[in-house]
Structure 1
């Protein structure tokens, strides 16, 4: 039987890599730049995942979000490389999928140049056919489906040939809007119990399950 899945799309933060320390540092740098006290890890954790503009509107209220985003990004580019690490099983997984001939892409709410730099530093860039951010689709961050739809267009695949792997309910909402299956892994900011409330198509225990699960799909009657 022909393998029905030709492409796998990934979120970045919390799915492929742990970059939370860099996000914490840049959020608190931005807050102090505008005279606010630093936030706790849990306070920041509760706001991450829905794009930088929304994050800035919450963590530096009453400040021009464009100014806040500029300060955040200037700081973030100085710390992201040293404060980001691949999550367990990611390198082996994406390398295996690449060798199997699957098309791989990243759809992240980070600026695309940041994600491109990080996957270069983390030495996984050669395995990906496309990397997208909101700036590729008129700043339409997830859960808007524009990024996912553009990724499928670039990879020349149909929704029925695509699976998305993420770690948050924003990923689930995005894929529902795009009309593609979504698998989640509780390696980011939300637990499996929390993610189950949003009814993803599958919850993986870890990234190490992805390749075996896709293999089962390929042989299913």
Structure 2
């Protein structure tokens, strides 16, 4: 989800253009997964989750914080649905789509000051998330977040949502290529010290990043992108909640 205002020329000209198609069409796929690759092996225990719109119902706070800068600067505000459609891109790329270029830096600054003071106003874990993460940990899986938020902000947010004790690692995007590039997913898995099984997310960007990292992809319809758009990314599973994931991941011996 939104990260800091680092250089995003690549995101504006490259990654954003392929987000809806997914990483496979852009040539990032590292291998073809067999139908049996969802079954855990001793070497593969990693489950990677996106954060906003996947584990946490945080979109209202993100959108209101994003729009705050327009009001503060006296600029015409875009609609909430316009903002929602861009969530998952870096913050600067989002503003560059909706505001004159000369105001992007100031808008980013307003967001970065305002959002941390309001990110718990309405945000809460989705129903069943705490129970699902608890169950997966008890079954022996290693769990990580891979988000477009900066790592420091992501960890503060995860802590505020009460999810820190359930996750083994929280990885943000700090100056390297953002989703659908696989970098943040691969770094999360490296921190876990295991191979990955599934990437769980709510956007086509998540699906592209997971596939590019060689994982099976699990698309949740309760978040940012609607079911029809998620289907274009051809996830391995398209589900309304985490129940089907739990059903496919038995306890590890």
Per the TM superposition, whether the score is higher than 0.5 is yes
Q: In 2, distance between residues paired with 1:112 and 1:84?
A: 18
CA contact (8 A) 1:57 1:63 kept: no
Using the TM superposition, give the Cα deviation of residue 113 of structure 1 relative to its aligned residue in structure 2, in angstroms: 2.0
Q: Does 1:97 align with 2:136?
A: yes
- 1:60-79 → structure 2 map (5 Å cutoff): 60-63=99-102, 65-79=104-118
What is the total number of aligned residue pairs between the two structures? 213
Q: Give structure 1 regions of 4+ aligned residues with deviation exceeding 4 angstroms.
A: none
Q: Does 1:151 align with 2:188?
A: yes
Q: Does 1:164 align with 2:203?
A: no
Q: In 2, distance between residues paired with 1:119 and 1:168?
A: 19
Q: In 1, distance between residues paired with 2:90 and 2:210?
A: 16
What corresponds to 1:112 in structure 2?
151
Q: Does 1:215 align with 2:238?
A: no
Q: Gapped runs of 5+ residues in structure 1?
A: none
Higher relative contact order (CA 8 A, sep 6+): 2
CA contact (8 A) 1:110 1:133 kept: yes
Q: 1:79 to 1:214 in 2, by over 3 A?
A: same
Q: Does 1:202 align with 2:237?
A: yes
Over the aligned positions, Cα root-mean-square deviation in angstroms equals 2.1
Q: Gapped runs of 5+ residues in structure 2?
A: 1-38
What corresponds to 2:122 in structure 1?
83
Q: 1:3 to 1:175 in 2, by over 3 A?
A: closer
Q: Secondary structure at the match of 1:193?
A: helix
Q: In 2, distance between residues paired with 1:69 and 1:133?
A: 17
Q: In 2, distance between residues paired with 1:134 and 1:63?
A: 24
Q: 1:64 to 1:132 in 2, by over 3 A?
A: farther
Using the TM superposition, give the Cα deviation of residue 55 of structure 1 relative to its aligned residue in structure 2, in angstroms: 0.8
